[in-house]
Amino acid sequence: GNGARDAICHAWSQDGISFTRNKSNPVFSPDGSWNCGRAIDAEVISYKDQYFLYYATRDPAFKIQMVGVAVTPSGSDFSRGSWKHLSHDSAALKPVFAWEGECIEAPSIIERNNKLYMAYAGAYNNWPQQVGIAISTDGIHWERLFTDPFLANGKAGSWNSSESGHPDLFVDHQGKTVLFFQGNDDKGKTWLLSSRNISWKKDRPVLD
């Protein structure tokens, strides 16, 4: 709600119920001339002895939404100053395909076979927003696996005709991969949550 002043904050908990704010909050906002300094939609994953922080930001005109990345060492307290911004010169992922409109946001990351997979929301809410998948072997450089949406919005008259967006990839204790997402059929007046199971074929995700 603070526009270009939005930033990432951190809190920690020993019981998952009560949280303590990091005294150095906000802990991260991006530098670089390609973005406006905003950071939202935080996603953190441990990979190759570092924590990778993915975030969404916008260009200086506050029109195009993109994803960037920063890292902090394993064992970090996530405090301000501990993060190294790896997207100083350019975004890690920005809109390319027509269906992505002017927005890439809501990155959700899992590791599989030493590779990172990102589910991301393409286009702003209700344009319609749809879900894409990208892959990385270093956490910095990303390649899309599909030119079309991995999970599209529904057809006219369906519950998610306005969008299938803001994804979350989840792997349960049995190794099953689930894609959670939000949707609606009224341009965002109401919101519903749903999920789809994912199978894997030659390191590529497939919707069940």
DSSP 6-72: --B--EE-SSSSS-EE-TT-S-B---STTS-S--EEEEEEEETTEEEEEEEEE-TTS--EEEEEEEE
131 found inside a domain: yes
The pLDDT mean for the chain works out to 98
121 found inside a domain: yes
Number of domains into which the chain is organized: 1
β-pair partners for 56: 40, 67
Write the pLDDT tens digit of every residue in 36-92: 999 999 999 999 999 999 999 999 999 999 999 999 999 999 999 999 999 999 999
18 found inside a domain: no
73 found inside a domain: yes
Residues spanned by the domain of 105 = 29-207
Write the pLDDT tens digit of every residue in 159-173: 999 999 999 999 999
Question: Binning pLDDT at 50, 70 and 90, where does residue 1 land?
Answer: confident
CATH number at residue 99: 2.115.10.20
Interatomic CA distance for residues 142 and 200, integer angstroms? 19
Interatomic CA distance for residues 177 and 166, integer angstroms? 16
β-pair partners for 110: 117
* Rounded alpha-carbon distances, angstroms, from residue 12 to 19, 60, 80, 119: 5, 32, 14, 25
14 found inside a domain: no
Interatomic CA distance for residues 11 and 143, integer angstroms? 31
What local confidence, expressed as pLDDT, does residue 14 receive?
97
